[in-house]
Amino acid sequence: MANYPELKDRVAIVTGGARGMGVAISRAFGAQGCRVAINARKETDAAKALRDEINQGGGQAKIFLADVRYTNQALKLIEEVKADFGGLDFLVNNAGINRDRVVWKMADEDWDSVIATNLTGYFHTIRAVAAIFREQKSGRIVNITSINGMRGKFGQSNYAASKAGIIGLTKSVARELGRAGVTVNAVAPGLIETEMIAEMPEDAKAASLGETVLGRLGTPEDIAETVLFLCSDGARHITGEVIKVDGGQYI
């Protein structure tokens, strides 16, 4: 993993930080000496183990419970992290779910729950940090989207729509916050080894793997590396971008 000394003692929030790619992202920030706010809906054993691992490794981590689908909880999350850690530098929106169905079988709840978590939740946290970042004239926002938000996916109209919405949200907020010195970017993973992928039917997984140029699954650490870079000084002149991390799957 690359080393970014400038990240030491900075404060990062990772929504959905105790599951899937969020674990690797939280762990990567911790390894850089960041103070990491691991956001989760519940204080699970996995969340506590991740917190303890980061703290024992020389980082600083705490768990902050909030369901970002709800604006009051998202606002409280941002306020509590800032008060507890004494500042806020990075917001990584990673929380996400899927409820895959072909559109003619998709229930309202399948649509509403995915949009609420994957898109509205991002809006809630971004709106909550915007005033802080504008006032301090610095900050980095990284939103986790998906290549399926760029190309669509059979059986994922809700998921693809939410991820496409994140791209539009990213570009718009990048325009709005740019003059305050705040960068806003998105990372678009392809097929990544997470719990979500483990639940895929083997034939669907094989078909997706066959789309990749590199012929392999990505890892959560591949995503974490890109997130760290976007928060580093080396990315200070990058904003409004969507970086695909997909082994060439999109092309």
pLDDT tens sequence across 197-244:
777 778 777 888 888 999 888 999 999 999 999 999 999 999 999 999
pLDDT tens sequence across 112-147:
999 999 999 999 999 999 999 999 999 999 999 999
Calculate the alpha carbon distances from 147 to 167, 190, 212, 243 in Å.
10, 6, 12, 9
Tell me what pLDDT residue 244 has.
98
- The conformational region for residue 10 under phi > 0 = left, psi -120 to 50 = alpha, else beta, is beta
Residue 116 Cα to chain centre, angstroms: 15
Q: How far apart are CA 173 and CA 185, in angstroms?
A: 9
**DSSP H or E stretch at residue 188:** strand 182-189
Q: Are 190 and 249 in contact (CB under 8 A)?
A: yes
AA letter at 171: K
* Residue ranges making up the domain that contains 78: 5-245
Q: Is 250 a catalytic residue?
A: no
Of residues 192 and 198, the one with the higher pLDDT is 192
Extract the tokens encoding 56. Answer: 């024992």
Tell me what pLDDT residue 195 has.
74
> DSSP labels for 129-172?
HHHHHHHHT-EEEEEE--THHHH--TTBHHHHHHHHHHHHHHHH
Q: How many domains does the chain have?
A: 1
Instruction: For tokens 């105790």, name the residue.
Output: 18
pLDDT tens sequence across 69-122:
999 999 999 999 999 999 999 999 999 998 989 999 999 999 999 999 999 999
Q: Is residue 126 part of a domain?
A: yes
Q: Is residue 137 part of a domain?
A: yes
Which band of pLDDT confidence, cut at 50, 70 and 90, is reported for residue 29? very high
Q: Is residue 73 part of a domain?
A: yes
Extract the tokens encoding 186. Answer: 């998105």
Q: Are 139 and 129 in contact (CB under 8 A)?
A: yes
Q: Among 160-169, 192-201, 241-250, where is mean pLDDT lowest?
A: 192-201
Tell me what pLDDT residue 209 has.
83
Q: Is residue 250 part of a domain?
A: no
Q: Is residue 25 part of a domain?
A: yes
- Closest by CA position to 227, among listed 168, 145, 112: 145
Q: Is residue 221 part of a domain?
A: yes
> DSSP labels for 80-115?
HHHHHHT---EEEE-------B-GGG--HHHHHHHH
Q: Which of 4, 70, 122, 159 is catalytic?
A: 159
Tell me what pLDDT residue 82 has.
98
Of residues 200 and 186, the one with the higher pLDDT is 186
Q: Whole-model pTM?
A: 0.95
Residue 58: pLDDT above 90?
Answer: no
Q: Is residue 220 part of a domain?
A: yes
Extract the tokens encoding 69. Answer: 């689908």
Dihedral over Cα of 170, 208, 158, 94: its sign: negative
Tell me what pLDDT residue 205 has.
78
Q: Is residue 34 part of a domain?
A: yes
CATH number at residue 200: 3.40.50.720
Averaged pLDDT score across all residues of the chain = 95
Extract the tokens encoding 9. Answer: 């003692």
